[in-house]
Amino acid sequence: MSSAETTGRMTAISGSVAEIRFPGAVPRIGTLLLAGEARDIRIEVASLVAADTVRGLVLNPGPELRLGMAVHSTGRPLSVPVGDALLGRMLNVFGETIDGGSDLVDLPRRSIHGRPVPLARRRVEGEIFETGIKAIDLLSPLERGGKAGLYGGAGVGKTVLITEMIHNMVAEYEGVSLFCGIGERSREAEELYREMDAAGVLERTVMVFGQMNESPGVRFRVGHAALTMAEYFRDDMRSDVLVLIDNIFRFVQAGSEVSGLLGRIPSRVGYQPSLGTELADLEERICSTESGRMTSIQAVYVPADDFTDPAATHTFSHLSASIVLSRKKASQGLYPAIDPLRSYSKMLTPGTVSDRHYRVARDVRNALSQYEDLKDIIAMLGMEELSEQDRATVSRARRLERFLTQPFFTTEQFTGKPGRFVALEDTLESCEAILGDAFSDRPESDFYMIGTVAELEDADAA
């Protein structure tokens, strides 16, 4: 373009997509356009449809949107503010505060379209990130500087689990935490803000939301905006950054909506043909460098509990740990409803974790796997038809199943049970005791919703 700003006219509007004709050179894809008398309607150029016409996503449509309206090109992409002043604040995709506090002024801004770090500059860790949640630390340990996914259908506890991780990890975490809500309910955003404030960790946290009622363009871009802020803390402030995303499926869903609005032919199961590329553009920006480590935990909604859904399978490929939540476990009241046989972590290998951790995790998984194989026989013939060895295995597995439940700090007000943070060493010690039949005389119910087996010993002493 010959100047930093040119003016065009709106020639078509369809939902949250508009076509704008420019008399001269058209703006590039990704350029931010402004419309309205106050220039407060923001449009991002998404495609070029003719030599003089662009098609753009209206990020915040308003009632004044009309044909013939003047549209001004800024000549630059959508950007967000960066700096220490973001800490403790709740923001939207434009970098505007939505927490009722003062506006952020005079902060430098950066384009949300950052590039992934080149492979030569990336840093690989191999260190465990302890969460204090027994089932995760034992069977699917998270990697510091890696990406972990929480997979599950509707209502199995993804948001509760990620909120508990925030409670447990942010308080112990020495770096900066960034929470990105993609397609969140406004109720969840408000509750999370209050919980972070009450826990005293808000001053080291940035919260970015693209809420459920906002346009698909906002929900599609809020993840990029959040990662731009996270990259500032990693690269400029040389801090470790913990990025929590809820929910990555909403990003895929927003991309599908955007693709449909732009008239692209859908691909498998109705998803956009560019699903893999769009997801990779976001996920590949999450990595560690010599400046600092960026660790990510992402909730992933699984449509209809179908783990072969393209959104789920594409996300799997980017993760170092996958924690699968089971509706069957949830229906049995075994919370967190983690499926130990379907969850995995690349960290759980000899040489990465301690020999003791690997041995205990393998034995726990073997016991639970054998119990799963015996369930059909038990259902048809009863426990009496099992051999003595199999009965002992079932008894051990059922105790382990109940021991891997855990009362959460974030659900205390609903359950009346005080939350527990359980160190990995305590989890290993307790599992070794159960595997060694140290508590074979106790009923299974005693192992439900406790922290460690030391609580059983304390109860006996009392």
Catalytic residue list: 158, 184-185
- Show Cβ contacts of residue 431 under 8 Å, excluding neighbours closer than 6 positions: 138, 360, 363, 364, 400, 403
Instruction: Answer for the pair 259, 273: CB distance below 8 angstroms, yes or no.
Output: yes
Parallel/antiparallel/unpaired status of strands 294-301 and 147-152: parallel
Instruction: Answer for the pair 30, 74: CB distance below 8 angstroms, yes or no.
Output: no
Instruction: Answer for the pair 333, 157: CB distance below 8 angstroms, yes or no.
Output: no
Instruction: Name residue 31's amino acid.
Output: T
What's the rounded Cα separation, in Å, for the pair 214 and 57?
12
Query: What are the residues facing 297 on neighbouring strands?
Result: 148, 244
- Show Cβ contacts of residue 337 under 8 Å, excluding neighbours closer than 6 positions: 152, 156, 157, 325, 326, 327, 329, 330
Would you state the structure tokens that stand for residue 381, as one six-digit string?
């013939």
Query: Quick one: which of 157, 177, 180 has its CA closest to 168?
Result: 177
